[in-house]
Chains A and B, each alone.
Chain A
Amino acid sequence: MEIDDIDIENSCGIQPAGVTYTDPGNDPNFVFVNDPSFETLVLYDIEGNVINVNSWIECAHYVKGGWVNTIIANYPGDKYLVFSLIFLALISTSLFIYKKRFKNA
């Protein structure tokens, strides 16, 4: 899968000014330096493994490696939320219209 800058930005946020991505390659001694101004992000791989990244460069590196900041969606939370909201909207609207008419009568 081709990972472009937009994918990285969507997962890691905007590239901070003055920060340039350099590929650490396969260097086993490479250590990502924590960036205190970067809010820790959680990334997931296809098997559901989790990693916390502490700098924009570290995040970009993992996103390029196929990690994403979303768990594979299998929980239809937004669907439940929409149906609950529709239910609430219908009940509220009917109740207040009825109450208003009842009061007027």
Chain B
Amino acid sequence: MLKYKNYLFIILIILITSILPFSNLFSDSEFEAVRIDESSIGYYQSRTCSISLIDVFLENIGNNNKIKYNNNNYVGIECFGKVTGLDKSLTISQLSDTGLDQISNTYIVSIGTNSQLTFVLQSIIWCLFFFLIRGKTNYNINFLIILFLSLTFTFQHLSEGRFYSQVNKYYDASMTLKNYYLIAVFITFYLIFLYISIFIDKQDSTLINYVPFAFLFVGTFNGKNINFYLIILSYFGLKHILNKNFINRFNISYFIFSLLWFLSRRDSNSFFDTDKLRGFINSSNNHFSLLFWSFIIWLSINGLIFLYKKSDVNIYLLKRNFLISGILIVFFGIIGAISPFSNFMNFMTFGQNKRGINSIISVAGNTWRGFGASAESYGEYFGFIILFLFILFISKKIKVDNVQFILLVIGIVGVVYGLYKTNNFASALSLFLLPFLILLNQKVSNKDLLVKIKIVFILIVFVSLFFLIQMMNYEYVSTELLYESAQHSNLFENLDNHEKFLEITNYFNEGQIDGLLNVANEGKSSTTLTFLSRIYTQNTFNLPLIPNIVSIISLVSILINRTEMWGIFIAKYSPNLLESLFGNGPYQLNNYLFIQDIRLDVPDRRINSLFLPHSSFLDIIIFFGLVGFTFFIVYNAYLYFIKHKNSEYRYLLLFLIINFSKSDSLLYISSVLLLWLVYTILDKEKT
């Protein structure tokens, strides 16, 4: 363990690196910050790139006007940390508690955050944090790996030029020695990989215990579509491959998938601005971006396999880190909600892919996501921590001393508060049921009795469902998902939205689903909707005594409140045969988002929102097709039911899989790392 004075020294450097660039220490501006109000708008607008963020913040402590600090990545380095604009904006937000509209004036202060300089600063801050982890003392520098990976990651700036040209005014794709933009990107990557090989490489066996901090240090570079953890994993992945692990079953399968992805549809027009998925999603739909993401994901999976083999899991350290990160996430979420300055600094320091929420109360239609980009993902994380602690204390019966007990109480309070605020009902419900299952398995030693209890429980569930379906009407339950999807499809192009709604409703009331999709609107609905409607109307894939598969999916969507989101997914997702079997490529949403013409049946204010599938299963189907999805399910089922059937930790896997089925968490790298952590814990416990 590092000495405390070393800890303090590193934290001091991190604080200085985070805050100093936003002060006026590096400029000799003659202009001073003034109080922000109506009269000072012109003052700031005519003195852009002169007044530092820290000065503005200090001058406006106690200012009752609502202020928001926006980051402006596009400006040059000369404006870094300085005000690049001030404007007043009228904000209308609906308060969930009262149902009333809240109208307020917000002063939006734009702060220069040139993406190149931020890239360097964030790299320094995050690399410094790895100093805090104890590791081996020796290191090896492989310049071949460093140079190759630096070139690979620089290549992304060419393959996703449309993304990068919009976030930096000096973006330049030309191959000349005067292209300072690309040279700066390349050297920064070189430095990152150099420091990874010196400081992080030697911690390969202990990194696993610090996965909880991936939810705090999100690691998305400001103004870049890349994540710090992808960089680290790629490094380990390449190292693994070069260590005589090139030809194996996984790599061969991945290679075949990659070839098939190149045969799927590509275009240079569609572009996804990445939204809250920035850093872990392909923004473009061309062959070069496909090549980059296929290669990086391949390296990263190899990196995870490498670390999986090397990892030395320390359950006590993990417990401590889960609690600390849980508390800090809630803490920074709250201070980011209260203070606009902290909200801005959180974004820059922790590499959030989306700014934290700026209000302590929930806004109607949304849960309080606090620090994270996704309330669902963070809700799952808080639920996971509680379940993990439950397994440790109830099943594993670990002991804690007084100091640890105090930390534990504070941590649990923080985590429960976080779960409550994210309002993740699925996480809370599974958190209630799984401990019950754990206790049942633990306390009932008679196996026959245990089986009988489980059968009775399953029977109760089925009987309840039967009565529920009877109450709701079987026809309604079976067709609701198809109906919802039809409403979001671009059917009856000549009718307005209300007329379309009535016409579709009439068709469904008369049971004319086939006529609606295949006669009146032939070729207008997605291939998924057409396929599912055929399964339902032509009674294919039917088994005796079991309802139609479409009816079952529809029922599940109603029960877990996913009818609208899955309906939109079915309306949008229109793959050909190859794409449905093998997907569109890793983290490639463009075909899903843009190929199919749709007409969403949602309020106008939501029409431009990003509608993700709201199920990681569906995400996997988009990326890796039904073949990839089948492998994912079979592999996890094998781990749960066969390989680790006697381990209590398998309930963590069940918890994640249940929650992933109704959330998009696998689109966030922190959740992917959490799943990998569970695989590793299960494996290490066995050995």
Chain A residues with CB under 8 Å of chain B are 9-10, 13-14, 16-18, 34, 36-37, 39-42, 50-52, 54, 69-71, 73, 75, 77-82, 85-86, 88-89, 92-93, 96-97, 100, 103
Contacts and interface: CB of A to CB of B under 8 A. Distances in A.
B170 A78 contact: yes
A88 B195 CA distance: 12
Given A10-B165, A52-B45, A77-B78, A82 B184 contact: yes
B608 A17 contact: yes
Contacts of B273: 13-14
B151 to A, nearest CB: 14
A50 B184 contact: no
Pick from A39, A50, A75 the residue with the most CB of B within 10 Å.
A50
A50 B90 CA distance: 21
B76 A77 contact: yes
B213 to A, nearest CB: 25
B77 A52 contact: no
B222 to A, nearest CB: 14
B608 A16 contact: yes
Contacts of B607: 17-18
Contact of B87 (A13, A52, A80, A85): A52
A39 B111 CA distance: 12
Given A36-B92, A40-B89, A77-B76, A85 B166 contact: no
Nearest to A74: B78
Contacts, number: 110
B170 A69 contact: no
Given A10-B165, A13-B166, 11 more contacts: A42-B72, A70-B76, A71-B75, A73-B169, A81-B120, A81-B184, A85-B184, A85-B191, A89-B191, A96-B141, A96-B198
Given A71-B75, A85-B188, A88-B191, A42 B608 contact: no
Interface residues of B, number: 48
B139 interface: yes
Contacts of A103: 138
A40 B87 contact: yes
18 contacts: A36-B89, A50-B45, A50-B48, A52-B85, A54-B89, A70-B75, A71-B48, A73-B76, A73-B170, A75-B78, A77-B78, A78-B77, A78-B170, A81-B117, A81-B180, A89-B191, A92-B195, A103-B138
Contact of B48 (A9, A39, A42, A100): A42
B649 interface: no
A17 to B, nearest CB: 5
Nearest to B68: A40
A89 B183 CA distance: 12
B681 to A, nearest CB: 34
B49 interface: yes
B280 interface: no
B482 to A, nearest CB: 25
Contacts of A42: 48, 72, 75, 84-85, 110
Contact of A40 (B49, B75, B108): B108
Contacts of B507: none
Pick from B76, B120, B181, B198 the residue with the most CB of A within 10 Å.
B76
A75 B76 contact: yes
B141 A78 contact: no
A48 to B, nearest CB: 9
Contact of A93 (B49, B117, B139, B194): B194
Interface in B181-234: 181, 183-184, 187-188, 190-191, 194-195, 198
B105 to A, nearest CB: 11
Q: Top 9 A-B pairs ranked by shortest CB distance? A: A77-B77, A78-B180, A42-B85, A75-B78, A52-B87, A85-B187, A70-B169, A82-B180, A40-B87
A69 B167 CA distance: 11
A40 B85 contact: yes
Contacts of A80: 77
Contacts of A50: 45-46, 48, 85
Nearest to B85: A42
A17 B141 CA distance: 50
Contacts of B117: 77, 81
A81 B182 CA distance: 12
B70 interface: yes
Nearest to B87: A52
B187 A40 contact: no
Given A40-B108, A75-B77, A85-B120, A92 B191 contact: yes
B116 interface: yes
B271 interface: yes
Contact of B70 (A10, A40, A69): A40
B90 A34 contact: yes
A16 B609 CA distance: 10
Given A37-B608, A40-B89, A81-B117, A69 B74 contact: yes
Given A54-B89, A70-B169, A77-B76, A18 B608 contact: yes
